[in-house]
């Protein structure tokens, strides 16, 4: 059984980043406006270590926000020396950081190797050059490929972050970006729907009617296809949607856009809606009408199968005319669902239906 995994997040707000991506206000996203010092890093690590359970666990220190490798090299060394000390003493297991594709070269990677960094996450956002350009990213798609390949050549774990709903973006471009990310064979991926954050250029564009954010429904729909695509290729999607905080919520720093505190769960529920509908569609509707459908699933999947406020149960009951849908927890793998309907018992292999869905939609 794999060990429980804990992360010690250290936010490096805008430090080292002279860019102004239209959607970004790092100070608001991280909730911090001061530069992080090595003393801060040590204090944060100590604080977290004192709260972790006293058993064998995996711990990773992660530098988030800003563009870590854009920071002055001497400051990078001072910041990295702290987690390195803890790693050498066996108190933490890994070090990760995020940065921009154009802030990766051999000299930087040599430095990160020296400080035993394990994972480098690149903010890719899109692999469409027009979208990158209109988002003010200041780098090309070509630079992403170069950086990603170099990171892998050095033996780091490669993380890739993409956004949907950027300026000039659409579903097709997002799917193409995701397919290209798959081709880079990353260790993990993050997907962020674009939100209009206060005090960004995007906010001005939005207020001037020059940018229309995705609706929540559109964002869930596009992310459903992306999540299924990454799942099909066994790529771990470690985050979907911006982490809600006291300020990252609609009406505070989020001015507009597809924000939802449980965005990933909305997407996961939508995936189960598709999987279950696909299975039930194979039945003669007149036979199953008025019957009870029993679903057995791993406990971790139950709430996504039911949907928020039982939305999937309501949808399927109404669409197929069931008398009732019951969901039971069972000790079975996450990728399997058992269905009992009209005295028939079926085992659904989630990945098989995901593949079929992607092929039907000509995504793969």
Binding stretches for ligand SF4 (CB under 6 A) = 14, 17, 19-21, 24, 26, 66-67, 100, 123
Give the nearest distance from C-beta 22 to ligand SF4 in angstroms.
9
Sign of CA dihedral 257, 258, 260, 264: negative
User: Which residue, 167 or 288, has its beta carbon nearer to ligand SF4?
Assistant: 167
Give the nearest distance from C-beta 36 to ligand SF4 in angstroms.
14
Instruction: Please tell me whether residue 234 adopts helix, strand or coil conformation.
Output: coil
User: Which residue, 21 or 80, has its beta carbon nearer to ligand SF4?
Assistant: 21
Burial of 17 (0-12, 13-18, 19+ CB in 10 A): buried
308 in Cβ contact with 299 (< 8 Å): no
User: Which residue, 30 or 270, has its beta carbon nearer to ligand SF4?
Assistant: 30
157 in Cβ contact with 119 (< 8 Å): yes
Q: How far is CA 232 from the centre of its chain?
A: 16
Give the nearest distance from C-beta 135 to ligand SF4 in angstroms.
8
Give the nearest distance from C-beta 102 to ligand SF4 in angstroms.
9
User: Which residue, 31 or 335, has its beta carbon nearer to ligand SF4?
Assistant: 31
User: Which residue, 151 or 353, has its beta carbon nearer to ligand SF4?
Assistant: 151
DSSP H stretches of helix in 115-159: 129-134, 141-153
Give the nearest distance from C-beta 154 to ligand SF4 in angstroms.
22
Of how many residues is the chain composed? 364
User: Which residue, 9 or 355, has its beta carbon nearer to ligand SF4?
Assistant: 9
Give the nearest distance from C-beta 19 to ligand SF4 in angstroms.
4
User: Which residue, 123 or 307, has its beta carbon nearer to ligand SF4?
Assistant: 123
Full strand arrangement of the beta sheet holding 236-240: 4-11, 57-64, 94-99, 119-125, 157-164, 188-193, 236-240
304 in Cβ contact with 265 (< 8 Å): yes
**CA nearest neighbour of 62 among 34, 102, 25, 30:** 30
User: Which residue, 29 or 92, has its beta carbon nearer to ligand SF4?
Assistant: 29
Give the nearest distance from C-beta 131 to ligand SF4 in angstroms.
14
Give the nearest distance from C-beta 328 to ligand SF4 in angstroms.
44
Cα separations in angstroms, 348 against 272, 274, 276, 292, 313: 11, 12, 9, 18, 17
Q: For residue 249, give every residue at least 6 positions away whose Cβ sits within 8 Å of its Cβ, in sequence order, or none.
A: 259, 261
State the DSSP code for 36: P
């Amino acid at each position: 059984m794999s060990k429980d995994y804990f992360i010690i997040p250290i936010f490096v707000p805008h430090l080292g980043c002279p860019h102004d991506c239209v959607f970004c206000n790092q100070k608001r996203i991280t909730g911090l406006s001061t530069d992080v010092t090595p003393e801060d890093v040590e204090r944060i690590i100590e604080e977290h270590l004192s709260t972790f359970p006293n058993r064998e666990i995996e711990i990773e220190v992660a530098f988030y926000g800003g563009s870590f490798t854009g920071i002055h090299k001497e400051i990078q060394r001072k910041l990295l020396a702290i987690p390195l000390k803890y790693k050498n003493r066996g108190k933490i297991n890994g070090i990760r950081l995020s940065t921009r594709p154009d802030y990766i070269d051999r000299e930087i990677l040599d430095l990160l190797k020296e400080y035993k960094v394990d994972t480098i996450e690149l903010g890719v956002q899109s692999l469409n050059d027009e979208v990158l350009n209109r988002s003010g990213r200041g780098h090309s798609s070509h630079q992403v490929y170069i950086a990603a390949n170099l990171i892998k050549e050095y033996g780091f774990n490669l993380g890739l972050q993409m956004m949907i709903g950027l300026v000039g973006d659409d579903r097709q471009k997002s799917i193409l970006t995701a397919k290209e990310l798959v081709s880079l064979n990353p260790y993990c991926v993050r997907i962020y729907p674009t939100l209009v954050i206060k005090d960004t250029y995007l906010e001005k564009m939005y207020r001037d009617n020059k940018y229309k954010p995705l609706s929540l429904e559109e964002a869930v729909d596009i992310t459903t296809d992306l999540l299924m695509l990454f799942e099909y290729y066994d790529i771990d999607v470690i985050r979907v949607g911006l982490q809600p905080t006291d300020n990252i919520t609609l009406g505070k720093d989020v001015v507009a856009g597809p924000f939802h505190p449980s965005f990933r769960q909305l997407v996961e529920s939508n995936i189960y809606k598709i999987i279950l509908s696909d299975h039930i569609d194979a039945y003669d509707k007149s036979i199953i009408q008025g019957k009870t459908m029993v679903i057995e699933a791993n406990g971790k999947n139950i709430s996504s199968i039911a949907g928020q406020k039982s939305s999937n149960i309501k949808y399927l009951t109404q669409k197929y005319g069931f008398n009732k849908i019951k969901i039971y927890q069972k000790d079975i793998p996450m990728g399997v669902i058992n269905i009992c309907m009209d005295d028939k018992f079926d085992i659904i292999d989630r990945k098989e239906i995901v593949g079929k869905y992607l092929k039907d939609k000509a995504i793969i």
